[in-house]
Amino acid sequence: MFKSMLHFIYTDTLPKMDDEGDKFTMAKGLVAAAKRYKLDGLKKISEEMLCKSIDLNTVETALLLAEKHHCPTLEAKCMEFPTTETGTLSSANSTRQRAKSTRQTLCRVPALGKVLSVETVPT
**What global pTM score does this model have?**
0.67
Alpha-carbon gap, residue 46 to 25, rounded angstroms: 10
Q: What pLDDT is attached to residue 120?
A: 45
Question: For residues 2-18, b (16+ Cβ closer than 10 Å) or e, as one string?
Answer: eebbeebeeeeebeeee
CATH topology of domain 2-117: Potassium Channel Kv1.1; Chain A (3.30.710)
- 47 versus 2: the higher-pLDDT residue is 47
- 55 versus 91: the higher-pLDDT residue is 55
Of the ranges 23-27, 57-61, 118-122, which one carries the lowest mean pLDDT score? 118-122
